[in-house]
Structure 1
Amino acid sequence: MRILHTSDWHLGRSFHREGLLGAQATWVDHLLDVVESQRVDLVVVSGDVYDRALPQVDAVALADEAFARLARSRARVVVTSGNHDSAQRLGFGSRLMDAAGVHVRTDAAAVGTPVLLDDEHGPVAVYGLPYLDPDLLREPWQLPGRSHEAALGAAMARVRTDLSRRPAGTRSVVMAHAFVAGCRPSDSERDISVGGVSMVSAEVFDGIDYTALGHLHGPHAVSDAVRYSGSPLAYSFSEADQRKGSWLVELGADGLATAEFVDAPVPRRLRVLRGELDALLADPALVDHEDAWLQVTLTDAVRPERAMERLRSRFPHTLALLLEPDRPAASATPTARLRGRSDHDVTLDFVTDLRGRAASTEESALLRLACDACGDDPDVDTLLSEVTG
Structure 2
Amino acid sequence: MTAIGFQPDSAVSRMLSDASSPSVRTSICSRFSFVRESGFAGPAALARTPWYAARMVSAMAGENRTATGSPEWAPHARYAAVRPPSRDPDFTGRPGLREPQPSRILVHSPAHPRTCRRATPMKLLHTADWHLGAKLGRHDRTDDHRTALRALLDIAASERPDLIIHAGDLFDAYRPPYPALRLGVTALQRLARIAPTVVISGNHDSGALFDVLDDMAGMASPRRLRFVTRPRVLEFDDLAEVPVVLACVPFIPPGAITDYATGDASRFEGDYADGIRSLNDRVMDRAREAAGPHGIVLYTAHLHVDGARPGNSERRFTVGEDHATHTKGLHRALYCAFGHIHDPQQLPGSARGRYAGSLIPLDYGESSQSKHAVVVTIGDDVQVDERELPPGRPLQSFNGTLRELETRAADGALDGCFVKALVKSDDPVPDLADRVAEWSPKCVIFNLVNEVANRPVRPISGGEDGEEPSIEDLFVEWRSTAATVRATKAPRETVLTLFREAVAGSGDEEGPDFGLTELTMRAEGVLAALRGGSGSGAAGSRDGSHTREPGRQGDS
* Structure 1 residue aligned with 2:68: none
Q: Alpha-carbon deviation of 1:238?
A: 1.1
Unaligned 5+ runs, structure 2: 1-121, 483-487, 506-511, 513-556
* Distance in 1 of aligned mates of 2:397 and 2:144: 21
* Structure 2 residue aligned with 1:359: none
* Distance in 2 of aligned mates of 1:21 and 1:184: 27
User: Given the alignment, which residue of 316, 319, 325 partners 2:446?
Assistant: 319
Cα distance, 1:283–1:106 mapped onto 2, change above 3 Å: closer
* Structure 1 residue aligned with 2:159: 38
User: Given the alignment, which residue of 3, 23, 26 partners 2:147?
Assistant: 26
* Distance in 2 of aligned mates of 1:4 and 1:301: 54
Q: Alpha-carbon deviation of 1:270?
A: 1.4
* Structure 1 residue aligned with 2:171: 50
Higher share in strand:
1
User: Given the alignment, which residue of 235, 242, 246 partners 2:373?
Assistant: 246
Would the aligned equivalents of 2:303 and 2:325 in 1 still touch at CA under 8 Å?
yes
- Calculate the TM-score normalised by the size of structure 1: 0.78
After superposition, the C-alpha distances for 1:281-338 in whole angstroms (9 at most, x for unaligned) are: 2358997444421111233354433333323322432212245667999898999xx9
Cα distance, 1:234–1:193 mapped onto 2, change above 3 Å: closer
Cα distance, 1:197–1:286 mapped onto 2, change above 3 Å: farther
* Distance in 1 of aligned mates of 2:319 and 2:387: 33
Q: Alpha-carbon deviation of 1:213?
A: 0.9
**Paired residue type of 1:145:** G
* Distance in 2 of aligned mates of 1:207 and 1:218: 25
Would the aligned equivalents of 2:338 and 2:354 in 1 still touch at CA under 8 Å?
yes
Aligned residue runs from structure 1 range 1-389, under 5 A: 1-73=122-194, 75-94=195-214, 97=217, 99-108=222-231, 111=232, 113-139=233-259, 141=261, 142=265, 143-147=268-272, 149-165=273-289, 166-193=291-318, 197-203=322-328, 205-223=330-348, 225-254=352-381, 256=382, 258-283=383-408, 288-300=413-425, 302-315=427-440, 316-322=443-449, 339-340=467-468, 343=473
* Distance in 2 of aligned mates of 1:60 and 1:376: 50
User: In terms of Rg, which structure is larger?
Assistant: 2
* Distance in 1 of aligned mates of 2:247 and 2:461: 58
Would the aligned equivalents of 2:277 and 2:325 in 1 still touch at CA under 8 Å?
no
Would the aligned equivalents of 1:91 and 1:106 in 2 still touch at CA under 8 Å?
yes
**Paired residue type of 1:53:** Y
Cα distance, 1:311–1:170 mapped onto 2, change above 3 Å: same
Would the aligned equivalents of 1:121 and 1:253 in 2 still touch at CA under 8 Å?
no
Q: Alpha-carbon deviation of 1:66?
A: 1.8
Cα distance, 1:80–1:275 mapped onto 2, change above 3 Å: same
Instruction: Give secondary structure in 2 for the equivalent of 1:92.
Output: helix
Would the aligned equivalents of 1:12 and 1:20 in 2 still touch at CA under 8 Å?
yes
After superposition, the C-alpha distances for 1:153-184 in whole angstroms (9 at most, x for unaligned) are: 13211222113323113222111111222233
Would the aligned equivalents of 1:234 and 1:244 in 2 still touch at CA under 8 Å?
yes
Cα distance, 1:371–1:298 mapped onto 2, change above 3 Å: farther
Cα distance, 1:264–1:194 mapped onto 2, change above 3 Å: closer
Q: Alpha-carbon deviation of 1:274?
A: 1.0
Cα distance, 1:105–1:305 mapped onto 2, change above 3 Å: same
Cα distance, 1:24–1:161 mapped onto 2, change above 3 Å: same
Instruction: Give secondary structure in 2 for the equivalent of 1:203.
Output: coil
Would the aligned equivalents of 1:134 and 1:150 in 2 still touch at CA under 8 Å?
no
Cα distance, 1:252–1:308 mapped onto 2, change above 3 Å: same
Instruction: Give secondary structure in 2 for the equivalent of 1:280.
Output: helix
Would the aligned equivalents of 1:202 and 1:226 in 2 still touch at CA under 8 Å?
no
- Calculate the TM-score normalised by the size of structure 2: 0.56
* Distance in 2 of aligned mates of 1:333 and 1:118: 77
**Deviation larger for 323-332 or 180-189:** 323-332
Cα distance, 1:164–1:6 mapped onto 2, change above 3 Å: closer
Would the aligned equivalents of 1:79 and 1:128 in 2 still touch at CA under 8 Å?
no
After superposition, the C-alpha distances for 1:130-153 in whole angstroms (9 at most, x for unaligned) are: 111120232564343342x23321
Would the aligned equivalents of 2:131 and 2:169 in 1 still touch at CA under 8 Å?
yes
**Deviation larger for 183-192 or 5-14:** 183-192
* Distance in 1 of aligned mates of 2:142 and 2:286: 39
Q: Alpha-carbon deviation of 1:373?
A: 8.4
The sequence identity of aligned pairs, in percent, is 25
Unaligned 5+ runs, structure 1: 355-366
Cα distance, 1:197–1:275 mapped onto 2, change above 3 Å: same
* Distance in 1 of aligned mates of 2:475 and 2:314: 43
Instruction: Give secondary structure in 1 for the equivalent of 2:223.
Output: coil
Would the aligned equivalents of 1:273 and 1:297 in 2 still touch at CA under 8 Å?
yes
**Paired residue type of 2:357:** G
Would the aligned equivalents of 1:103 and 1:115 in 2 still touch at CA under 8 Å?
no
**Paired residue type of 2:355:** Y
**Paired residue type of 1:185:** P
Would the aligned equivalents of 1:270 and 1:293 in 2 still touch at CA under 8 Å?
yes
Q: What is the Cα-based RMSD across aligned positions, in Å? A: 3.8
Cα distance, 1:139–1:271 mapped onto 2, change above 3 Å: same
* Distance in 2 of aligned mates of 1:334 and 1:193: 45
Cα distance, 1:344–1:21 mapped onto 2, change above 3 Å: closer
Cα distance, 1:303–1:186 mapped onto 2, change above 3 Å: farther
Cα distance, 1:13–1:371 mapped onto 2, change above 3 Å: same
* Distance in 1 of aligned mates of 2:454 and 2:298: 55
Instruction: Give secondary structure in 1 for the equivalent of 2:318.
Output: coil
Instruction: Give secondary structure in 2 for the equivalent of 1:155.
Output: helix
* Distance in 1 of aligned mates of 2:251 and 2:178: 23
Cα distance, 1:115–1:309 mapped onto 2, change above 3 Å: farther
